[in-house]
Amino acid sequence: MNNLERTLSIIKPDAVERNLSEKIKSIFLKNNLLVKDTKKLHISKDEAAEFYKVHQSKPFYDQLCSYLSSGPIEVMILEGENAVLKNRELMGATDPKNAKDGTIRKLFGVSIDKNSVHGSDSVDNAKNEINFFFNK
């Protein structure tokens, strides 16, 4: 292993609701991202607002926080070689319409807000986001 990393993945309410968690996890495993820890939870809007605070100035912030707290989510720690970038590649573009074939958002995303998954976008943010949900 040259660059072992950990990143945070969230299976968003639209995907949990459609029972896609196992299918999404199998995509991670097939691509050598190990699921090191996982939990299912239903966060409050205040917790979502804290988690997404980097987006607080964006026009979609309020809707985003309402959405992430609208139903159960599954959060997990993924570990593997270049895990942060690899997860972002497997997820695909933010808007499922623009996501490449075979990516999670292309396969399962419904719309830009109901795009099925979250993934940390840097090693530093991954550490903060893992700490937010797992205290480690």
Contact between 121 and ligand CDP per CB under 6 A: yes
CB under 6 A: which stretch of 27-35, 70-78, 108-116, 127-135 binds ligand CDP?
Answer: 108-116
Residues 6+ apart with CB under 8 A from 116: 11, 12, 14, 15, 20, 24, 96, 104, 105, 108, 109, 110
CB under 6 A: which stretch of 15-23, 41-49, 113-121, 126-134 binds ligand CDP?
Answer: 113-121
DSSP, collapsed to helix, strand or coil, labels residue 2 as coil
Q: 77 with 6: CB under 8 angstroms?
A: yes
What residues form DSSP beta bridges with 123? Answer: none
For the bound state, the minimum distance from the C-beta of residue 103 to ligand CDP, rounded and expressed in Å, comes to 11
Q: Which of 9, 82, 103, 115 binds ligand CDP (CB under 6 A)?
A: 115
For the bound state, the minimum distance from the C-beta of residue 38 to ligand CDP, rounded and expressed in Å, comes to 19
For the bound state, the minimum distance from the C-beta of residue 121 to Mg ion, rounded and expressed in Å, comes to 5
Contact between 98 and ligand CDP per CB under 6 A: no
DSSP label of 96:
G
State the binding string over 55-94 for ligand CDP (x if CB under 6 A, else -): x----x---x-----------------------------x
Distance of CA 93 to the CA centre of its chain: 12
Q: Report d(CA 33, CA 77) in Å as an integer.
A: 9
- Site residues (CB under 5 A) for Mg ion? 121
